[in-house]
Amino acid sequence: MPQKFEVPKLRIVFIMVFITAAFILYTVNLASMQIVNFSEYQRRAKEVASREAVILAQRGEIYDRNKDYPIVMNISSFAVYVTPGELQEDQKEKLKINLNDYLRINFNELDRKIPIDTTGSFQPVELKDALQYEEIIYIAEHIEDFPGISWQSKPIRGYPEQGSISHVIGYVGNITSEDLQILYNKGYDRNSTIGKSGIEKQYDMLLRGKDGTRMRMVDVKGRRIEGDSQLIPPENGNSLVLSIDRNIQKLCEKALGERIGSVVVMKPSTGEILAMVSYPYYNPNLFYTDKSKEEYTRLSLDPRFPFINRAIQSGYAPASTFKVFMTSAVLEENAFPLNSMITCDGSMTLGDRTFNCHKLSGHGPLNLADALAQSCNVFFYTMGVEYLGIDKIVDYSTRFGFGAYTGIDLPGEIRGLVPSPEWKDEVYHTNWVGGDTMNVSIGQGALNVTPLQMASAISLIVNDGISYKPHILTQVLDQTTGEVLSEIEPEILKTSNISRNTLKTLREYMRGVITDGTAKYVITTKAVDVAGKTGTGQMGLQDQWDSWFVSYAPYETDNSDEQIVLVINVEGVNKWEWWAPKAADMILQGIFAEQNYEEVLDEFRNRWYIREWRKRQQDALEADTAAAGEAAE
């Protein structure tokens, strides 16, 4: 009988041991969860029960050098977001329809914004910005038709100064997936707005600031639990002060008119850009309307390429303006006696080719100063082929900065091209010939420079062999207090070993272009003495020419800070129009007489009326004298 009770007793012991072990295990696990790993589980619980909302930082404003009002500002508006994790699958189609009907967001755009791999995410995704208060009110009143939708204030950029300054300041837009791959580690996310061009892009990190966050606790239905949140305030972006003078910018813009080309006004003593005009331009305000995509597409397909800043992103044959730098090589190398003459009879033959001068009847005997003043092709053909050679021409071109970046603080600058025998062999696999040297000697052929490079090269002449790095930004300001956080100091770009005596003589010769040369009858301003050089380069099309004018003023001064360099290039004009020096005449008059464009026109009209009146008075006097003589006879 006792043996019958042995098995049940063992089973009871086993069960008791098992229950005790399980109790101890659960007790240890519970203690671990509540004591040892309490903070970790609390963090996970908060992640499940919390929602993160981004507090957008205010983008910095942008001022011109006058600092009286912003030329780029923030305008109040709203952005709408969708939280994919709050959106049920059966609600998605209804939301698509409502968003398309009211906010004009098409179905494909919604699918792109909410890909399949984000459907469980509680991170809000921006759907559309630049919404007005009235539109947000409608969404709030019909929130049942917009499941998963939220909104917050998101100012858009406003550009009160429209026109050619758009190439300088640029515009902003939503970040692309390609941009995000590069910028993710710098604090950007898929809802970020970034600069797309110009100063907005160049100094995006300074302007954008740092977004803040608000962590809110919610219940299982996503409703906010009051009094349980964490706030990290945003850090607003810095404001910028540019070297641009909007009054000079507008003067240059109107003087150039609706002609494809560019204008650069630069302070040679510092490298500050006072004006940079490129036509055609665009209105960045149109990128924040319902037709923004259509507008962007229209501009992108425009054959005149309005998105290109021609001052830094287009290269041109410098034409006769290059004779200034040929002259510097002749002077510095003592390659040709200054008072010796070369006779121009209208053309020069090399091998089996004839190269013409722009004056087909010829200029007759000319020395170096006269050749530059009259822009004689034959003289500089001779200098290039017989006295300098291509190696020295390339050497002096690079001394003035051609074929290299200026380093201006704008994106997209090109470096141009100074062709050489090595370059031609590498690109075309052919030898350099004398005709190539002839073409380069008068600024034609493959030689290619930007208007800004030309301005920098003229600055080196003005500054006795020093050129400063061109720049647009001058100050960084605290957006709230206006305190100056940093200032941009002039930075030397290039120091030339060309002698001061050579540069002094070169300036005298450039003055001769205005007083006795090709610009004598077109640069008529009395407001300032000017030194410069004209240039007209054929584009390869019948009666289509690039018109150049490079200059600086005042010609002589004890105050280098008042000097400016002015470079104008106009594409594809008729040869007789010769608009670049005409526009320069108006710009120089406006800057140094402190007149706007309309006042300059009045000034020039009055001069014309006075000249006509005097001419008529002289004609009448001569007629009266002749009549009196006849009567006496």
DSSP string, 116-153: GGGTT--S-EEEEEEE-HHHHHHHHHTGGGSTTEEEEE
The one-letter amino acid code at 284 reads P
What is the distance between the alpha carbons of residues 17 and 20, in angstroms, rounded to a whole number?
A: 5
* CATH number for the domain formed by residue range(s) 49-76+155-242: 3.90.1310.10
CA atoms within 13 A of residue 499's CA, in its CB half-sphere: 9
Strands 239-242, 62-63: pairing kind: parallel
CA distance 491 to 467: 9
**Residue 577: pLDDT above 90?**
no
Paired residues of 528 in beta bridges: none
Confidence at residue 148, expressed as pLDDT on a 0 to 100 scale:
79
CA dist 371 to 132, 274, 278, 320, 550, Å? 64, 32, 32, 11, 17
Residue 197 φ then ψ, to 5°: -160, 170
Phi, psi of 142 (to 5 degrees): -125, 40
In this prediction, residues 437-445 reach a mean pLDDT of 96
> What is the residue type of 14?
F
Q: How far is CA 515 from the centre of its chain?
A: 35
Positive/negative CA dihedral, 398, 400, 403, 408: positive
Judged against a pLDDT cut of 80, whether residue 37 lies above it is answered with no
DSSP E strands, 478-624: 484-487, 492-495, 531-538, 545-553, 564-573
Closest CA to 392 of 443, 330, 448, 336: 330
Residue from 85, 50, 316, 494 nearest 308 by CA: 316
Query: What contacts 9, CB < 8 A, 6 or more positions away?
Result: none
Comparing 28-37, 199-208, 456-465, 624-633, the range with the smallest average pLDDT is 624-633
The pLDDT assigned to 1 comes to 44
pLDDT at residue 189, rounded to an integer: 84
Cβ neighbour number for residue 269 with a 10 Å cutoff: 18
Q: Quick one: DSSP state of residue 407?
A: -
Helices marked H in 410-450 — which ranges?
421-428, 434-441
For the domain 246-595, what is the CATH code? 3.40.710.10
Residue ranges of alpha helices (H) inside 99-245 are 107-113, 133-141, 166-169, 177-183, 198-202, 204-208
Q: pLDDT digits over 137-147, tens only?
A: 888 888 888 88
CB 55 within 8 A of CB 212: yes
Q: Can you give the pLDDT at residue 617?
A: 61
What angle (nearest 5°) sits at the alpha carbon of residue 69, between those of residues 67 and 73?
A: 115
More confidently predicted of 135 and 507: 507
pLDDT of residue 155: 83
**What number is the average pLDDT over the span 300-328?**
95
- Distance (Å, whole) CA 273 – CA 410: 11
Q: List the one residue out of 287, 304, 78, 298 whose CA is nearest residue 195.
A: 287
As a whole number, mean pLDDT of residues 333-350 equals 94
Q: What is the mean pLDDT of residues 392-403?
A: 97
- Look over the chain and give the mean of its residue pLDDT values, rounded to a whole number: 87
Q: What is the mean pLDDT of residues 220-245?
A: 77
CATH architecture classification, 77-151: 2-Layer Sandwich (3.30)
- Residue 358 contacts residue 386 (beta carbons within 8 Å): no
- Give the per-residue pLDDT at 121: 64
pLDDT band for position 221 (50/70/90)? Answer: very low
pLDDT at res. 48: 53
Domain locations along the chain = 49-76+155-242, 77-151, 246-595, 600-633
pLDDT by residue (tens digit) across 79-110?
A: 888 877 777 766 777 777 878 778 777 767 76
Closest CA to 53 of 83, 75, 86, 87: 83
More confident residue, 47 or 425: 425
Model pLDDT for residues 503-561, shown as the tens digit of each residue = 999 999 999 999 999 999 999 999 999 999 999 987 665 667 889 999 999 999 999 99
